[in-house]
Amino acid sequence: MRIALGIEYDGTDFLGWQRLSHGSTVQGAVEEALSKVAAQPVAVTCSGRTDAGVHGRCQVVHFDAPVEREMRGWLLGATSNLPPSVAVLWAQPVAEDFHARFSARSRRYRYTILNRPVRAALDARYVSWERQPLDAARMHEAAQALLGEHDFSAFRAISCQAAHPRRCVLAVGVQRVGEQVIVEIEANAFLHHMVRNIVGSLLPVGRGEQPVAWIGELLAGRDREVAGPTAPSSGLTFIGPRYEAHWGLPAEVSQP
């Protein structure tokens, strides 16, 4: 039986999602917990890998259960064996041809910037900090140049292993909510560090150091070296993928 799980995690203390031979990863923790429930090894496939320090609101994974357990057993059993920073939100059977990565139609990220003169204390693990005032409206206007399918080489990490740099951004927005400036972006897929590099380039626009047109110029220029720096990982949260409704997954990961 193929099973899908929704997982949330605080990525601060992990070296990222992907299992590594050294250090703690979210995938490693999830597979270890599921293996305890199954009493034998379990491997999972995720909808999209996240980097060190990046959080997940509803990461989706699938695995082929080697033993029979009730969904409640997978849900509660796995969560009880996970560290406090990781929890399984839901578990449900899916069709055998469902694939957490390849069945996803898009992925969504949120980047949160605390914009005030004083750094964060309570929220320090989940935001980045910018002391200079940001104009969220300018940032939003600039970000609209990213909509559609483009070559995103200007926002691609040197270490990116993707076969090509073309991605399709379906929605992007920047808004201020009190002391926070929030960047949300949805695309069919993302390049390594793509969101953090976009945010790092939007910040000079928000500070008034670059014109609104700069983001479009960077996109057209395809030169990572002239774009902004990579924004800190702490502010980035993977909201989750979206799947077509026929897969029957929870509303938070299904296309409206």
Q: Which helix (H) or strand (E) holds 40?
A: none
Confidence of residue 12 (pLDDT cuts 50, 70, 90): very high
Quick one: pLDDT at residue 160?
Answer: 85
Say whether pLDDT at 255 is over 90: no
Say whether pLDDT at 136 is over 90: yes
pTM value > 0.75: yes
Quick one: pLDDT at residue 130?
Answer: 98
Active site residues: 51
Q: Which of 194, 199, 156, 155 is nearest to 174 (CA)?
A: 199
Say whether pLDDT at 191 is over 90: yes
User: Angle at CA 111, nearest 5°, toward 108 and 116?
Assistant: 160
pLDDT tens-digit map of 140-182: 999 999 999 999 999 999 888 888 999 999 999 999 999 999 9
Amino acid letter at 202?
L
Quick one: pLDDT at residue 89?
Answer: 98
Distance of CA 186 to the CA centre of its chain: 10
Average pLDDT, the chain: 97
Quick one: pLDDT at residue 22?
Answer: 86
Q: Which of 234, 249, 240, 202 is nearest to 109 (CA)?
A: 240
Q: Which of 230, 187, 251, 206 is nearest to 53 (CA)?
A: 230
Say whether pLDDT at 256 is over 90: no
Quick one: pLDDT at residue 21?
Answer: 85
Enter the tokens of residue 174. Answer: 């920047």
pLDDT tens-digit map of 45-104: 999 999 999 999 999 999 999 999 999 999 999 999 999 999 999 999 999 999 999 999
Give the side-chain half-sphere CA count within 13 A for 4: 24
Enter the tokens of residue 86. Answer: 């990781």
Confidence of residue 7 (pLDDT cuts 50, 70, 90): very high
| Alpha carbon distance 20, 37 (integer Å) | 22
Looking up tokens 């270490």 gives 159
